[in-house]
Amino acid sequence: MKITEEKKDDIVICKVQGEVNLDTSPDLRKKFDSFISSNTKKIIINFSDVPYIDSSGLATLIELLQRLRKIDGKFRICNMSEKVRSIFEITKLCKLFEIFDTQSAALENF
Amino acid sequence: METEYKLKPDLGDILRFIRNFLKRLEPLGIDEEKLFDIRLTLEEALINAVKHGSREDKTKFIFLKIKASAKILEIEIEDEGQGFDYENLPSPAQDANLEKLSGRGVFLIRNLMDKVDFFNRGRKMRMVKYLK
């Protein structure tokens, strides 16, 4: 998994490349540790290059949501493939996360 | 194709096994969306068997039977654990459970496969995916 980040004002856009699963979730968690310790409160996760997610990846995102909430932070997810999005729909996690079709839509009014 | 495997409850080995197994399915020409479902369900089921069934006890084994044709994939997974109450699992999709960090594996399997049955108090699971 490769994670690159870009800053736009007070928002960090985090582009994830690769699968989000049992193997790679620790990398994602580590990246978010650094965001949280630097008090970053607005994060957009771009999933355009994420072809696969499993229940462990979903749990990592829930954990992040809970941790960000504690510092009054929030995050949005954008550019999911249809298949990955279907996993969020089946599990009803689309109700929990803010999911946007595009990065520019996710940036709007954040 | 009909194959039986006896696997050690080691997560790294299991994930490598699944990657290799999926390559063996390539000649069947399964579409990408179905392959995603097969991979996810196999991983969820086998990870559950390692973590909750065998509890990573290296003296135990996980038994896997796979029957695949162009039309249908049948997978049977059995572990040597205590089993579980598969009829009364809380739904992770209920509002009150949405933020729970676990409990989505069997739910995903039931939603992504066409038929799922449990036997032997949950120690054995049989799942079917129609390919055509």
Contact: B43, A96; criterion CB under 8 Å? no
**What pLDDT does A13 receive?**
97
A69 interface with B at CB cutoff 8 Å: no
The pLDDT value recorded for residue B45 is 97
* Cβ neighbours for A76, distance < 8 A, ≥ 6 positions apart: A43, A44, A45, A97, A98, A99, A100, A106, A110
Q: Which stretches in chain A have pLDDT values below 70?
A: none
Residue A91 sits at the chain B interface (C-beta within 8 Å): yes
- Interface predicted TM-score of the whole assembly (ipTM), two decimals: 0.93
**pLDDT confidence bin for B132, thresholds 50/70/90:** confident
Which among B15, B33, B98 has the least Cβ separation from residue A92? B98
B12-37 tens-digit pLDDT: 999 999 999 999 998 999 999 999 99
Mean pLDDT of B41-49: 96
Share of chain B above pLDDT 70, in %: 100
User: Is A94 an interface residue toward B (CB < 8 Å)?
Assistant: no
* Domains of chain A with CATH codes: 2-107 (3.30.750.24)
B98/A55 Cβ within 8 A = no
Domain B2-130 class in CATH: alpha beta
Backbone angles phi, psi at B78, to 5 degrees: -135, 135
List pLDDT tens digits, range B90-123: 999 999 999 999 999 999 999 999 999 999 999 9
